[in-house]
């Protein structure tokens, strides 16, 4: 996957940040070995647990590993940016003097800044998210649906990190909104049903007038989409995979559809199919589509979808990195977009994967939508 790049990053880190330290040879070797274990902990987990997505170790160790990994990565990025600056200085024939004068002090400053940013970022990542309120003005919205309140949860990644205690708080905060409908746009879990049995149990407490509707994300497929579909249904959810349901509210109706994640084909299962999901749906009803990844957006707009709710990107997690994540997801990374008369909303995620548990400037969210009639409608 991405591990060969981490080996290169490790070598760079050792040469630029460990070798120059005023420590004995044994101390520097020990430090380099410790950094190697940190930067390769995903691969080590894969060897030991069979997957890097669900390390079944106590939560404090998951947090510690995440903190150290994020600090290493932030420090590597900062060092690389400094070296790019030095390259420019060398081009101006000042590089050697700049490095000799400032680099030792700058090196220690970077260590400190990376540790602080990692601590703050991990703390923000594992907290219970705040509510983000969004109004969606929809063309030809039936009067009975005007004011309907719908809560989106996405990317909970319930695991040893986002455990039962965290899930209970998310459920409590969601229920306090008294929503008409709760939708969950994939990546609810990391791990097998056996490993997550206790952690997912609080999801059964989600309450909404029209219930809970979920679609699957890529992580459900990694751990058995069919098994997890049965588990979610046991918890009281309606799981939509290339099919739809009708919600009757205030004497008006709307269609809520869900599509498979695009990794499904890797597991010999049907991929996302909006046409199939909407087959038989009444054309007069507004359409809400749950698609874990923000894909096929323009095609979905042409198919008559009014609102597409997605996640997957986690909003990019760190301001600045979000621009890279944006380019890897068709230009969509966080928030609301208008595409061909359709609203696309990409959630920052309610939780996030334990392998990179950091948020800096990109907060997690429980998203409350209020449907409104478009201006000019009577």
Q: What is the pLDDT of residues 316-335, one digit of tens each?
A: 999 999 999 999 999 999 99
Tell me the mean pLDDT in the region 7-34.
Answer: 92
Query: What is the per-residue pLDDT for 81?
Result: 87
4 band by pLDDT with thresholds 50, 70 and 90: confident
| Tokens at 215, concatenated | 């679609």
Interval 56-103: pLDDT, tens? 999 999 999 999 999 999 999 998 888 887 777 777 665 555 555 566
Domain assignments of the chain as residue spans, ordered by start: 3-125, 130-373
Residue 351, φ and ψ in degrees, nearest 5: -125, -155
Q: Which CATH superfamily is domain 130-373 in?
A: Metallo-dependent phosphatases (3.60.21.10)
190 band by pLDDT with thresholds 50, 70 and 90: very high
DSSP state of 189: B
Q: How confident is the prediction for the chain on average, in pLDDT?
A: 93
Whether 184 has a pLDDT exceeding 50, the answer reads: yes
Whether 378 has a pLDDT exceeding 90, the answer reads: no
Query: What is the per-residue pLDDT for 101?
Result: 59
Whether 1 has a pLDDT exceeding 50, the answer reads: no
Task: Report which of 341, 280, 272 is spatially closest to residue 310, judged by C-alpha positions.
Answer: 272
As a whole number of angstroms, the distance between CA 215 and CA 290 comes to 6
As a whole number of angstroms, the distance between CA 311 and CA 235 comes to 22
Query: What is the per-residue pLDDT for 26?
Result: 96
308 band by pLDDT with thresholds 50, 70 and 90: very high
2 band by pLDDT with thresholds 50, 70 and 90: low
Decide: pTM greater than 0.85.
Answer: yes
Query: What is the per-residue pLDDT for 49?
Result: 85
Task: Report which of 178, 188, 177 is spatially closest to residue 154, judged by C-alpha positions.
Answer: 188
Query: What is the per-residue pLDDT for 83?
Result: 82
Task: Report which of 68, 72, 99, 74 is spatially closest to residue 85, judged by C-alpha positions.
Answer: 99
Q: With beta carbons less than 8 A apart as the criterion, state whether 169 and 206 touch.
A: no
Whether 264 has a pLDDT exceeding 60, the answer reads: yes
Interval 223-235: pLDDT, tens? 999 999 999 999 9
Whether 125 has a pLDDT exceeding 90, the answer reads: yes
């Amino acid at each position: 996957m991405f591990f060969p790049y981490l080996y290169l990053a490790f070598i760079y880190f050792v040469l630029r940040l460990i070798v120059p330290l005023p420590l004995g040879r044994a101390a520097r070797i020990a430090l380099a070995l410790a950094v190697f274990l940190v930067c390769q902990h995903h691969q080590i987990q894969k060897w030991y647990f069979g997957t890097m997505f669900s390390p079944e170790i106590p939560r404090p160790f998951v947090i510690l590993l995440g903190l150290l990994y994020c600090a290493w990565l932030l420090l590597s990025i900062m060092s690389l940016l400094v070296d790019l600056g030095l390259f420019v200085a060398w081009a101006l024939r000042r590089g050697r003097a700049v490095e000799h004068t400032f680099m030792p002090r700058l090196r220690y400053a970077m260590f400190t800044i990376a540790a602080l940013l990692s601590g703050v970022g991990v703390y923000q990542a594992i907290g219970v998210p705040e509510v983000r309120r969004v109004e969606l003005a929809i063309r030809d919205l039936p009067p009975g649906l005007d004011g309907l309140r719908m809560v989106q949860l996405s990317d909970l990644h319930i695991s040893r990190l986002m455990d039962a205690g965290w899930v209970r708080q998310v459920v409590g905060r969601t229920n306090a909104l008294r929503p008409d409908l709760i939708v969950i746009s994939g990546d609810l879990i990391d791990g097998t049903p056996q490993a997550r049995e206790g952690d997912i149990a609080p999801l059964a407490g989600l309450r909404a007038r029209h219930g809970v509707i979920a679609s699957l994300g890529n992580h459900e497929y990694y751990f058995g989409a069919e098994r997890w579909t049965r588990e979610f249904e046991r918890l009281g959810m309606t799981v939509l995979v290339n099919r739809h349901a009708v919600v009757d509210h205030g004497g008006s109706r709307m269609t809520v559809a869900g599509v498979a994640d695009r990794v499904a084909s890797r597991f010999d299962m049907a991929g996302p199919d909006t046409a199939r999901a909407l087959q038989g749906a009444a054309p007069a009803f507004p359409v809400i589509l749950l698609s874990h990844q923000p894909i096929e957006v323009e095609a979905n707009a042409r198919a008559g979808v009014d609102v597409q709710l997605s996640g997957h990107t986690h909003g990019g997690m760190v301001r600045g990195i979000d621009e890279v994540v944006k380019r890897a997801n068709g230009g969509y990374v966080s928030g609301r977009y208008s595409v061909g008369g359709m609203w696309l909303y990409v959630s920052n995620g309610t939780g996030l994967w334990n392998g990179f548990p950091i948020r800096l400037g990109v907060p997690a969210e429980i998203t409350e939508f209020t449907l409104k009639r478009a201006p000019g409608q009577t």
